[in-house]
């Protein structure tokens, strides 16, 4: 029973932590998907190599990378790295806690890595986990703020968490794909377009995501079909489906894979019916996350 209470408290603390630090993954508002790409696909973007470090033993070293994609932008970049444990901020000490390089000149279309270093003996007032009385376990957090010389907007601010002295895999994870229409009716010779958006689970990592559809006699595209994704952000896209005039009437199914994600499953939200379906890798062929049903008339 004590163990159950401790686990419940972990989940409550974790939820509160992400509410407090949600600004780390905030994004400028984006308009409805149009023919041109929104800034989330063109402005600089960056993030920790992983946002979930799991266990970090006391008096050891935590090392990870922060990755910055300049995309269409170029100029001076500066990072501000901070950390916190319970209600105390880490005091700046370049020997025990730093990111290197913390500033550089970026050129368009490039990828830059900086190394993050933390000596966990530096964590203020560390409290060892104690389950003997249903004890509380506190997560620590690292945050990074990105400044661009011309004050351009970016998607670079990010955060990661870890539990000092505790091995934890955390809660079950899934991505979310929202689609305007999960069942489509298309006339022969007609093209239909609708909106979709994809969000990778917060325990994922920044990197390339690509959508690949199964073989189909329909003309099917997702724009963009490949981009740099960051956990916790919604990436809008446009789905286009058309049927040649000579195509036989009937039911067609398009299976779409999402490559590059770490999550075990994808929750598909069908906006037309406001319904949710969880597609699990354990129940489907490898990487097939969701089917789209198309009726040609």
Q: Where are the domains of the chain?
A: 2-164, 174-296
Residue 103 has pLDDT above 60, yes or no: yes
Residues 113, 70: Cα–Cα separation, whole Å: 11
Query: What is the reported pLDDT for 165?
Result: 60
Residues 72, 35: Cα–Cα separation, whole Å: 18
> Could you tell me the pLDDT band of residue 28, with boundaries at 50, 70 and 90?
very low
Residue 3 has pLDDT above 80, yes or no: no
Query: Mean of the pLDDT values across residues 288-296?
Result: 82
Query: Mean of the pLDDT values across residues 17-30?
Result: 37
Residue 5 has pLDDT above 60, yes or no: no
Residues 144, 77: Cα–Cα separation, whole Å: 12
> Could you tell me the pLDDT band of residue 187, with boundaries at 50, 70 and 90?
very high
Q: Judge whether 2-164 and 174-296 match in fold.
A: yes
Per the model's pLDDT, the better-predicted residue between 23 and 80 turns out to be 80
Long-range contacts of 89-98 (CB under 8 A, 24+ apart): 90/122, 90/123, 90/124, 91/124, 93/122, 95/119, 96/121, 96/122, 97/122
* Six-digit token string for 226: 């490949």
Q: Are strands 75-85 and 97-100 parallel, antiparallel or unpaired?
A: unpaired
Query: What is the reported pLDDT for 163?
Result: 74
> Could you tell me the pLDDT band of residue 27, with boundaries at 50, 70 and 90?
very low
Asked if 154 contacts 45 with a C-beta cutoff of 8 angstroms, the reply is yes
Q: Are strands 61-69 and 45-48 parallel, antiparallel or unpaired?
A: antiparallel
Query: What is the reported pLDDT for 134?
Result: 59
Read off the pLDDT of residues 217-231 as tens digits, 9 standing for 90 and up.
999 999 999 999 999
Query: What is the reported pLDDT for 155?
Result: 96
Q: For residue 113, give every residue at least 6 positions away whose Cβ sits within 8 Å of its Cβ, in sequence order, or none.
A: 65, 66, 67, 68
Query: What is the reported pLDDT for 14?
Result: 41
Of 77, 75, 139, the C-alpha closest to 102 is: 77
CATH topology of domain 174-296: Immunoglobulin-like (2.60.40)
**Mean model confidence pLDDT for the chain:** 80
Query: Mean of the pLDDT values across residues 118-133?
Result: 70
Q: What number of other Cβ atoms are within 10 A of residue 118's Cβ?
A: 24
Residues 64, 162: Cα–Cα separation, whole Å: 12
Query: What is the reported pLDDT for 126?
Result: 67
Tell me how many degrees the CA angle 140-125-19 measures, rounded to the nearest 5: 30
Q: For residue 181, give every residue at least 6 positions away whose Cβ sits within 8 Å of its Cβ, in sequence order, or none.
A: 194, 270, 271, 272
Instruction: Note the CATH number of domain 2-164.
Output: 2.60.40.10
Residues 237, 198: Cα–Cα separation, whole Å: 8
Query: What is the reported pLDDT for 96?
Result: 86
Per the model's pLDDT, the better-predicted residue between 146 and 11 turns out to be 146
Residue 143 has pLDDT above 80, yes or no: yes
How are the residues of the chain apportioned to helix, strand and coil, as percentages rounded to the nearest 5? 10, 45, 45
Per the model's pLDDT, the better-predicted residue between 9 and 242 turns out to be 242
């Amino acid at each position: 029973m004590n163990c159950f209470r401790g686990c419940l408290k972990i989940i409550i603390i974790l939820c509160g932590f992400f509410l407090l630090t949600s600004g780390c993954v905030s994004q400028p508002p984006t308009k409805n998907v149009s023919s041109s790409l929104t800034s989330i696909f063109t402005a600089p973007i960056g993030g920790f190599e992983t946002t979930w470090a799991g266990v970090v033993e006391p008096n050891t070293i935590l090392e990870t990378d922060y990755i910055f994609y300049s995309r269409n932008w170029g100029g001076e970049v500066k990072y501000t790295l901070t950390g916190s444990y319970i209600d105390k901020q880490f005091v700046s000490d370049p020997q025990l806690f730093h990111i290197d390089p913390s500033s550089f000149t970026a050129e368009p279309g490039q990828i830059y890595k900086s190394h993050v270093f933390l000596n966990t003996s530096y964590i203020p007032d560390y409290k060892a986990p104690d389950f003997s009385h249903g004890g509380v376990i506190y997560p620590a957090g690292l945050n990074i703020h990105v400044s661009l010389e011309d004050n351009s907007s970016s998607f670079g601010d990010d955060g990661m968490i870890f539990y000092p002295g505790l091995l934890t895999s955390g809660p079950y994870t899934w991505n979310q794909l929202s689609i305007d229409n999960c069942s489509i009716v298309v006339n022969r010779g007609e093209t239909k377009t609708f909106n979709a958006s994809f969000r990778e689970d917060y325990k994922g990592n920044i990197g390339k995501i690509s959508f690949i559809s199964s073989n189909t006699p329909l003309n099917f595209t997702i724009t963009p079909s490949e981009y740099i994704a960051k956990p916790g952000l919604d990436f809008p896209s446009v789905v286009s489906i058309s049927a040649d005039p000579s195509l036989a009437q009937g039911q067609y199914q398009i299976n779409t894979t999402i490559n590059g994600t770490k999550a075990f499953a994808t929750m598909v939200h069908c906006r037309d019916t406001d319904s949710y379906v969880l597609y699990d890798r354990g129940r489907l062929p490898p990487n097939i996350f969701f089917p789209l049903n198309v009726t040609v008339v």
